[in-house]
Structure 1
Amino acid sequence: MPTPLQTLHDSLLSEKKVTLSVLREDLLHPTIPGNKWRKLKYNLQAAREQHCNTLVTFGGAFSNHIAAVAAAGKEFGFATVGYIRGEETLPLNPTLQFAKSCGMELRYLSREEYQLKDDSRFRAQNLKPSPNQFLLPEGGTNQLAVRGCTEIVTEITAPWDVLCVAAGTGGTLAGLIAGAEGRGQIIGFPALKGGDFLRSEVAGLVQEFSVQPYDNWELQTDFHFGGYAKHTPELLAFIQNFYNKHGILLDPVYTGKVLFGVFDLIQQDYFSEGTKIIAVHTGGLQGWAGFKQRYRLDWPGEDLMP
């Protein structure tokens, strides 16, 4: 079943004579939604083919990836281990409580140790091995993840000119670029401050997957709102107004920033008349519970939060 494509109706879009739709990847799976399912799909298949029974991965305390891996382990019969950045804090936040309820074993690394997580010597000396383990990188980005994310593009049947997506580790963006095979324009919106570093990361992932570079993509780095997981009253107001107008809930870490950026670019006449834009909703809504708890938000749409 194809992912629903929801066309937006807004006075700005009418004024600028562009079409904007949201690809509802957030509806793909109830507990492994959006790009997380795309990234895990072929990794889970590989783990099964390699007779691995334990998924081991890394992430922060509010990580969508940690929650998704835990959910995938429960659904598909894998044990799961999550190495969490920072010290244990009790009671667990909603993300880690969910992961634990799915059976994930939580192990904690100090922030200094976490910086060394990709060093083979550090892993050998400090990370407790799990039997028949399948290692997934932080954020889930590897070539199998890129393969899964190419299908976001190949499954779109409606005509489009521009695809817009959030960029964290760059795997989903790389998948869109590779899947488009030079067609249209792809725009990534880094969620991190100083997101220019993703240019080389994404280009490397694409070239490794496709064996050729593509130049039909760019990064818009001015919509990070202070950095990863940072927000402003302006961003939160946009997210609430967007829900009120269009009935689509966005998150303040990734998708809220993408749609804010897209509307800002439309306002600036960045796109020519007649342009058909699709913004990919990559999910991430599980983080709302912890986000509200962490920042003590009095959110009017309380009953709408997952």
Structure 2
Amino acid sequence: MKSSSQQLPLILPDGISVTVKREDLIHPFLSGNKYRKLYYNLEKAKKEGFTRLLTFGGAFSNHIAAAAAAGFHFGFETIGIIRGEELSDKIRENPTLRFAEQQGMKFDFISREAYRLKAEAAFVEALQAKYGAFYLLPEGGTNELAVKGCEEILEEDDKIKYTHICCAVGTGGTISGLINTSGSTQKVLGFPALKGSFLSEDICKFVNNSRWELINDYHFGGYAKINEALIRFINAFYAETGVPLDPVYTGKMMFGVMDMIAKGYFPEKAQILVIHTGGLQGIEGMNKILAQKKMPLIINE
């Protein structure tokens, strides 16, 4: 599956150019890195005779929405183990959960304490006893097959034309795939949406070279945390380029890229490719929160 690339109409210093690889346009519901992460997992699930997918996520999880859509389109029953018991009576108010339910996903809302046990064998065995056989998709979708799918994001021309590859980082699967297939003279920069240094260890489990770096200065306080400066940037960026960004991942990544250009991080005539990993479904839910806080809303249409 190929995605289109769009060079931005921006006036940048030192002959630097920025091009966006529009993975968000691959599919209306299975867009961006979620398509890549799910592709080979669904292939394996079907080959091994599974009819049910089970996975994990939070209230506005892109992965939950994508897994539900994948189940609907490819004929799998889907079960979402959702972090937060208080969400069980708020499905209609939550655009992500509402969409997933419309796609046929069944939910199991559990406490945050229980959710922390999701990777433990006893917890998974209890879920198997409750739901029967299922193909397990990890939170965020990252595993070896997900990395394999993300290795297909870069095309051969991309490995030659650009000096830097930039992407947002959640669980580390997407950047791992990019690192593994990047050109020998390229550097891959990841912009984590979460606080903490644990991601480097996770990424090292999957990658085959050291031509990468995590930029930890643009998480805006942690996962799903934003401020008015970020909102203004996202809206101005959309007005100038026509490219919508989400506030959790791609907005922070692009904010970081542009700030680093202004601060002289990139060398003269750097050719930067940024990967748009989708996630736009989360804007509606974030705007509900912003409206409650009487903050500016994100514009994407």
TM-score bucket of the superposed structures, by smaller chain: over 0.9
The 8 Å contact of residues 21 and 276 in structure 2, kept in 1 or not, is answered as yes
**Structure-2 separation of matches of 1:275 and 1:184:** 11
SS of the equivalent of 1:106 reads strand
**Which of 67, 75, 78 is the equivalent residue of 2:76?**
78
CA shift, 1:127, in A, is 5.9
Aligned residues: 294
Give, in whole Å, the separation in 2 of the partners of 1:63 and 1:102: 15
In 1, the alpha carbon distance for the partners of 2:182 and 2:171 equals 19
Q: Give 3-state SS (helix, strand or coil) of 2:19's partner.
A: strand
CA distance in 2, matches of 1:128, 1:192: 33
Partners of 1:272 and 1:34 in 2: CA distance:
28
Identity of aligned residues (%): 48
Give the distance between the partners of 1:232 and 1:91, measured in 2 at CA.
25
Report what 1:123 is aligned to.
124
2-structure distance, mates of 1:256, 1:68: 20
Q: What is the aligned-residue RMSD (CA, Å)?
A: 1.6
1:113 paired to 2:108: no
Query: 1:83 deviation in Å?
Result: 0.1
Who is 2:23 aligned against? 25
Distance 1:99 1:52 in 2: 20
2:192 corresponds in structure 1 to 190
Change beyond 3 A, Cα 1:130–1:278: same
Q: Is the 8 A contact 1:62 1:95 kept in 2?
A: yes
Whole-Å separation in 2 of the counterparts to 1:171 and 1:270: 25
SS in 2 for 1:165: strand
Structure 1 counterpart of 2:274: 279
Corresponding position: 1:234 with 2:233: no
| Structure-2 change in CA distance of 1:83 and 1:155 (3 Å) | farther
> 1:101-250 counterparts in 2 under 5 A?
101-125=102-126, 128-154=129-155, 156-157=157-158, 159-180=161-182, 182-194=184-196, 196-206=197-207, 213-250=208-245
- TM-score, structure 2 normalization: 0.93
Q: Secondary structure at the match of 2:71?
A: helix
Write the distance in 2 (CA, Å) between the matches of 1:156 and 1:138. 32
Per the TM alignment, residue 131 of structure 1 is displaced from its structure 2 partner at its CA by 3.7
1:145 CA displacement: 0.2
User: Which range moved further: 17-26 or 155-164?
Assistant: 155-164
**In 2: Cα distance, 1:280 partner to 1:187 partner:** 11
Give distance in 1, aligned partners of 2:239 and 2:50: 45
What CA distance in whole angstroms lies between the structure 1 residues aligned with 2:47 and 2:31?
A: 23
Shift, 1:300, TM fit: 6.8
Give the Å deviation of 1:129: 3.9
State the 1:203 CA deviation: 1.0
Quick one: distance in 1 between partners of 2:19 and 2:258? 12
1:37 to 1:126, Cα distance in 2 relative to 1, 3 A: closer
TM-score between the two structures when normalised by the length of structure 1: 0.92
Call closer, same or farther: CA 1:83–1:73 in 2, change over 3 Å: same
- 1:299 aligns to what? 297
- SS at structure 1 position matched to 2:213: strand
In the TM superposition, residue 156 of structure 1 has moved relative to its aligned partner by 4.9
Q: 1:166 is aligned with what amino acid?
A: A
- Partner Cα separation in structure 2 for residue 289 and residue 259 of structure 1: 20
